[in-house]
Structure 1
Amino acid sequence: MGVTRPVTIGDVLQWLTERGSRPEPTVDELMFGSEETEVTGIVTTFVAAQHVLEQAAGLGANLVISHEGIFYSHHERQDTLQDDPVYRTKREWLVQSGIAVYRFHDHVHRYEPDAITEGLVRDLGWAPYVDERLPAATIVRIPDTSVTSIAEAVKTKLGIPYVRAVGDTAASCSRIGLLAGYRGGGSTAIPLFESRKLDLIIAGEGPEWETPEYVRDAVHQGRRKSLLLIGHAASEEPGMRYVAGLLGERFPGVPVRFIPAKPLFELL
C-alpha cells in the first residue's frame, strides 16, 4: 500500500486555478507563506480581517483563502501604509503566525459558472429557477412575488439585518438579475433591465447615483422596476462558502471551514 503524500499549499492553489480560464492581469497571489508548506487546515473567507485570521489560527488552519484584499485596497497597494500602525500590526502578526494567505479574486469569477454568483444563487435557494448565466450576472425566473417579500427572504436566507431598496417594492416580480459584488453600477446593471426584461436586480453594491437613480426615474415614468442592494460582503460570502465546499470534496483529509467576517456596518 503506497504512502499518501501530504497536501501542500501548492497543491491547493494548483487545483483552485486549473478550473476556468486564467485572468491576466490578476490580483490573485500568494501573499504570505510558501507553496511547499504542508496544509494543516484551510479557511475561506470574503476578507481576511484580523479577527478572521485569528480565528483561523485558533482552529489550527495555516492557509487562509481571501476573496478581497487584506490591506484595504483592491490592488493591495501598500506604499502609503508603510508607517501606518494598523497595517504594520496586522502584517507583523501575519509574519509571526506563519499563516499563508492567498488572494483569490479574479480566477474564482472565471469559473463556469462564476463560483461567487453560484454560491449566492444556491444560498437563496434559486438554483432550480436559473434562466440564464451571463459573465457578470445570473438571471432567475421565480414565481410571482412582491419585492418586499423577496427582500425579507433574502435577509433570512443570508442572515443579514437589512437591505436597501429602490423602486416599486410593492410590485410583483418574477425575472430577477443577481449581480454579486461591485456589479451594481450603471454600465453593468442598467442594460440588463431592458435586454433581459428584468423586474428586479439584486446586487452587492454600486455608485448610488447610477442604477438607483435609473430605477427612480423608471418608476416615475410608470415602469415596474426595483433594485435591492444587499452589501458587497453579503453578496459574495456565499460564494466563498461554496468554495469551501468544493475544497472539502477535493481534499477530504484536510479540515476546511468557511469563516464569515463580522458585520461591518451598524445602523444608528
Structure 2
Amino acid sequence: MSTLSIQNVIDTVLSATNVPTLSRTADTFKTGDPNTPLTSIVTTFLATAEVIREAAAQGANLIVTHEPTFYSAEDTDDLAWLDGDPTYEAKRRMIEEHGIVIWRFHDYWHMMKPDGILTGVAQQLGWTVDPPAIALDEALHAMTAGKSGDTRRAGAAVGVATIPEISLLDLARHLKEQLGATAVRMVGPDDLPVRRVGLTLGALPGKMTIAALQRDDVDIVLTGETREWETCEFLRDAEYFGCPKGMLVVGHATSEEAGMAYLADWLRGLFPDVQVTHLASGDPFRTL
C-alpha cells in the first residue's frame, strides 16, 4: 500500500496539468473517501460495473474515469433522481463494498497542453497533430457542454492531423481496425481525398464540429458521436452544393479510450512506485 492518500494523488495530478483552477468543473470525487490511503490506480473511459469489479479484483481503490459514473453529466452531482432505482443502487453497493473511490478527470485532461485525450489517440494512430491555432480555454471548453460562445474560435481550437492522402472509405476501414471500432459511420463521398483530419473527439456540439469543417485545412472530422440533424445535414448539403467534406463517427468510447490508456502511462511517470492499470470500458453498442 502506498503512503499517499488518494487526495494527495489528485492534488499532484491537478498540479501537473498546469491548468489554472477552473471556476466550474466536473472533475470531482464521485464516490468514496479521498483521505483513504491509496492501494493502486485504474484508469478508464467510463467506470462500468465490469470495470469496477475488475479494479476491485486487482486490489485498486482509485478509479480515474473520463466520463460520468451515474448516467448523467454529474456537474451538480445531484443523484436524487436515481434514488431507489435497482441498477443505481446495485452499482452504488458494489462500489461501497469494495471501498472504491471514483474521481472524474475530464476537463483538466482536455485542457492540458497538449490535450491528454488527443495525445493518446494520436499516439495509437501514429499521427502527428498540429497544435491548434487557439488554445482551449475555460470559455471554449464550456461550449462542449452546450454553453454559448464563439464558434469560430472553437473551430480554431481543434487539433488537426496531416496524413498521407487516402480516400474517405479506405480511412474508415483503417480506423475501424486501428481503433477496434465495432462500426464506423461515414458522411461524405467514398472517394473523397483526405489529408487533414480534424480531431473532434468525444461528443462536441454540432456548431463546434461544423466550425472545424469550415476551416480550409480540414478535409474531414473524426468524432465519437453526433446529433444527426446537425453536422450530418451540413455535410449532406455541402456535398450537394459542390463543396464536399466528410465525417467519420466511431463511437464515443472508441474515440477517447486511447486517451485514458495514455493517462495510465502519464500517471506512472508521476507515481513510479504505484501500480497503475488501464481497463477499457468498451463500446456499449452491438451492430447487426
Same fold (TM over 0.5): yes
> Which is strand-richer, 1 or 2?
1
What code does the residue aligned with 1:27 have? A
Task: Report the 3-state secondary structure (helix = DSSP H, G, I; strand = E; otherwise coil) of the residue aligned with 1:187.
Answer: helix
Greater displacement, 50-59 / 115-124: 115-124
| Match of residue 91 from structure 1 | 92
Aligned mate of 2:197, from 169, 176, 184:
176
Query: Which residue of structure 2 lines up, in the alignment, with residue 35 of structure 1?
Result: 34
Q: Following TM superposition, where does structure 1 have runs of at least 4 consecutive aligned residues deviating by more than 6 angstroms?
A: none
One-letter amino acid of the counterpart of residue 147, structure 1: L
Partners of 1:23 and 1:110 within 8 A in 2: no
Cα offset, 1:239, TM superposition? 1.0
TM-score (norm 1): 0.93
Corresponding residue pairs, total: 261
Shift of 1:107: 1.4
Q: Write the distance in 2 (CA, Å) between the matches of 1:242 and 1:179.
A: 18
User: Could you list the runs of 5+ residues in structure 1 that have no partner in the other structure?
Assistant: none
* Preserved CA contact (<8 Å) 1:21 1:111: no
Q: Is it true that 1:77 corresponds to 2:78 in the alignment?
A: yes
What TM-score do the two structures reach when normalised by structure 2? 0.86
Contact 1:158 1:234 (C-alpha < 8 Å) held by counterparts: yes
Secondary structure of the residue aligned to 2:130 is strand
Question: SS at the partner of 1:68?
Answer: coil
How far did residue 248 of structure 1 move?
A: 1.0
The code of the aligned residue for 1:175 comes to: R
For 2:148, the equivalent position in structure 1 comes to none
Determine the structure 2 residue equivalent to 1:188: 208
Matches within 5 A, 1:1-268: 6-18=3-15, 19=17, 20-75=19-74, 76-127=77-128, 130-133=129-132, 134=134, 135=136, 136-183=157-204, 185-268=205-288
- In 2, the alpha carbon distance for the partners of 1:66 and 1:187 equals 27
Q: Deviations over 1:46-72 (max 9, x none)?
A: 110111000000111111001111110
Q: Is the 8 A contact 2:183 2:287 kept in 1?
A: no
Contact 1:120/1:180 (8 A) holds in 2: no
**Aligned residues: CA RMSD:** 1.5
CA–CA separation in structure 2 for the residues paired with 1:123 and 1:58: 27
